[in-house]
Amino acid sequence: MQSSDHLSCYDGELNALADLAGDFDAASPADTHRWIGAQWRSVANALGWSRPLERSFLALQAFAEGGVPAQHLTEKAALDAFEDWHIDRPIVSRGLTLAQRRELARVQTIVIDKLDTNGRGTLNRWRPYISSTSLPNKACVDLNAVGTVTPQGPGGIRAARVTVRAKPLMAAFASAPRSATYFRAFRSDTAPSYFADKSTPENVSECDYPVVLSLGTFPYVYGGVLGSYAPGLTWTTSTHSPARRGMTVAASFWQAEPNLSQDARVVVAQYRHFRATTDRVLAGVATPPAENHRPIVGEVHRRGGLLHVYQGALELARFQGPRGVLAASSYNYIKLRFAAFFAARRAYLRARASLSPAARSAIARNPDPCLRATPRLAVERA
């Protein structure tokens, strides 16, 4: 089976999807570095931190003195730029005090850590689905147990920079239901959405709820919240940065071992659902032939698998569907994250001879039947 056949094993359209993220020679460290840099730039451009990223990359390039920087240094440079940018964003208070937001950030971070660790065992870090009772602090914050912190207290500098600006729309991101005492660290994304159909968890209570986070598409982690606001970007950064943690997981899928450790069936299923549900919402959006089409100002159209607004703002192009608002900007972002996953999968399998022992080991323990169907890999496992 050719590596392109590998993607076809899941779905006939995945090769075209992967092409949206570009191809690379995974046997070449330089080309791999180039491609991963392009993914960072794609993310940063879409979310609005391209300048901090470029500054960080320039500094890293100077440090590398013309060579190819080590992957972990590139990742650190990008994540540092992201976190620095994220810290300066307006705070979403959700009615919580500073101390409570800090505790929430701590709990969110350690939960994502746990999901990441767990996911290496379950081979699903992309969109884990796990009961909160299995997670640190039950993925909950006891509001009454958190003391108040004055602006001049610990972490005073960052506390002083916090501006509480609650907007009505942000209420959409408040974990619900909320008692007077407990605050869920995450929404329970179990309603019918663009990521999955409805799931009906049993015995749901305050701090016993399903934690379902689409970390692979961070910061769009909830399938029913695909408007202009990205939920992951509303998470407070203080001593802990759950947003950085989420971005770390999302970016990890561009590298060989983390990508090959993921059971792609989870990703495929989510993508198929996303494609089917968004196709219905976007049915009226034209895909004009390139040669003849003359766009008009404000026109939304599809080109190359993505949405475009001629002379207009993608973030203002919003479509209302039965599973919620779908912004053109979030649609493109999410689709490109899926594309990057499959582009990486395809490239690493094509260059399987050059894979690290860790990556080979990841393949060996992956129950993904399409991965197992790859003939040469089967010989290697024998």
Partner 1 sequence: MNRALVIGGTAAAVATAGSVAYYLYRRGQAKELGPGTEPAPPLDSPAPNAPEPGPAPAPAPSPLPATTEAERVGVWDNVLPLPTAEDVSGDLESNWGSTPRTYRPLFQLMEEASGIEGSARIYSVIAYGESRYVPSAQNGDGDTARDKAERTYSNRAWSTMQGFGYNADNVPYGPEAANFGSGGLLGALAPYFLAIGAVTLGKAGAPLLKSRPQIIFLPRVAAFHGVVYLWRLHTQHDVRDIPDIKVGWGSPSLLSAKNRGSATYTKIREKFVGHAREVGIDLSKLPSKLNVDGFTGVTSVFEKIVGTLPTRAG
CB of 61 to partner 1, least distance (A): 17
Which residue, 242, 303, 290, is CA-closest to 115?
242
321 binds partner 1 (CB under 8 A): yes
Name the amino acid, one letter, at 144: N
Residue 90 interacts with partner 1 (CB under 8 A): yes or no: yes
Answer yes or no whether residue 294 interacts with partner 1 by CB under 8 A: yes
94: left (phi over 0), alpha (psi -120 to 50) or beta: left
Stretch that binds partner 1, among 116-124, 206-214, 316-324, 359-367 (CB under 8 A): 316-324
Task: Name which of 30 and 313 has its Cβ closer to partner 1.
Answer: 313
The answer to whether the beta carbons of residues 354 and 26 sit under 8 Å apart is yes
In angstroms, give the least distance from the CB of 250 to partner 1. Answer: 20
Left, alpha or beta for 165 (phi > 0: left; psi -120 to 50: alpha)? beta
Interface of this chain with partner 1, residues 159 to 178, rule: CB under 8 A: 165
Q: List Cα–Cα distances, 147 to 98, 103, 143, 323, 372, in angstroms.
A: 10, 10, 9, 39, 53
The CB-of-280 to partner 1 minimum distance in angstroms stands at 6
Q: Let me know: does 54 contact 204? Beta carbons within 8 Å.
A: no
Q: Is 314 in the site for partner 1 (CB under 8 A)?
A: yes
Check binding of 51 to partner 1 (CB under 8 A).
yes
**What is the amino acid identity at position 264?**
A
| CA nearest neighbour of 219 among 38, 55, 73, 89 | 89
Enumerate residues 6+ apart whose C-beta is below 8 A from 267.
126, 127, 216, 338, 341, 342
- Residue 312 binds partner 1 (CB under 8 A): yes
**Minimum distance between the CB of residue 160 and partner 1, rounded to whole angstroms?**
16
Contacting range for partner 1; rule: CB under 8 A; set: 18-26, 85-93, 178-186, 187-195: 85-93
Contact status: 317 vs partner 1 (CB under 8 A): yes
Cβ atoms within 10 Å, residue 290: 8
Q: Does residue number 301 form part of the binding site for partner 1 (CB under 8 A)?
A: yes
The answer to the question of residue 203 lying near partner 1 (CB under 8 A) is no
Residue (67 or 284) nearer to partner 1, CB: 284
Site membership for partner 1, residue 80 (CB under 8 A): no
300 binds partner 1 (CB under 8 A): yes
- Residue span binding partner 1 (CB under 8 A) among the ranges 47-55, 115-123, 127-135, 138-146: 47-55
Contact range with partner 1 by CB under 8 A, out of 116-124, 174-182, 234-242, 296-304: 296-304
C-alpha span between 371 and 373 (Å, rounded): 5
Which residue number, 155 or 321, has a Cβ lying nearer to partner 1? 321
Burial of 279 (0-12, 13-18, 19+ CB in 10 A): exposed
Joined tokens for residue 225:
């919240």
With binding defined as CB under 8 A, does residue 299 bind partner 1? yes
How far apart (Å, rounded) are the C-alpha atoms in residues 82 and 323? 30
Decide: is 309 part of the binding site for partner 1 (CB under 8 A). Answer: yes
Give the residues lining the site for partner 1 (CB under 8 A): 48-51, 85, 88, 90, 165, 280-286, 288, 294-301, 309, 311-322, 328
